[in-house]
A and B are shown apart, each in its own frame.
Chain A
Amino acid sequence: MTVWNAVLLTAFLISAVSSLTLFLKTVAMRDDYDPSEPKGSIPPAVLYAYTGAMSPLKKETANRHWPTYTAGMLYHAGIFFSFFWLLILATGIGLPAVLNRPSGVLLASTALCGLAILLKRAVSRKMRALSHPDDYLSNILSTGFQVVTAVTLLSGSGTAVLFFYASLLFLYIPVSKLRHAVFFPLTRFYLALHYGRRGVWPPPERSGL
């Protein structure tokens, strides 16, 4: 194990423990006892919250914003793909070298999506009004992560820079808006409790009373 492996592992552990704490503390918090008689049923609503309700056809934030939405999805896919490569490279699991090039190119293009979103944030008046320094740095770290992974894969150079960069990203997650990664599943869950109990999710058969 190199020094950089150790740094990466430490950063990962710190990040994972704080994120998990954040998650568990929230889950463990008191929630209001809700004795209202349900109209709908909750389990199918929970399932729907993570599936059908996420469909871009159902959400105006997707279907009224196709370019941004598409860029956003690719950008997020790129982040997960970079984490996948980080795992491969850090654990020393060998993958056929023939995968490096296409993966690198893929990540370079998803990084471009991240860059486009960053530019939109910096240029559009509406987005600037809604943004804090944290929003820019969060994007830069996540986009940069993909760039560094791509460069590592394409150049076949050492992994030190990647591991260092990834460590920064790990450490930044729990203290920034990147923590939405921790809260996202919970958000969907709470929304499902709300809409499920009230019979709004999943949408009933149309006029099928």
Chain B
Amino acid sequence: MGTIIIDEREFEVDGDGFLQDPHIWDKEVAQLLASHDGTGELNDVHWKVINFIREYWLENDMAPMVRALCQAAGIRLREVYELFPMGPAKGACKIAGLPKPDGCV
């Protein structure tokens, strides 16, 4: 679909900017994606959310519900949208290297 270049690293992404190959993902990639979409420097809480999403996806082959994510990271719903300005799907899931979920996102 296309490539994006962040800090001289090139990534194959789909039309919406989700990684084409979710398996090239690592922590460094996550940080690069986060800087690219305006989320900024990832802190501990960000990481809690991202790691949870990543593990959940590896196990279940889909993104977790936002509820599960809040409970796992011990945050309130409102905080998710503050932590990830692009929201849980186009923000958090994208940074966690998931493919784009179906539906209105």
Is any CB of A less than 8 Å from a CB of B in the complex? no
Question: Which B residues contact A (CB, under 8 angstroms)?
Answer: none
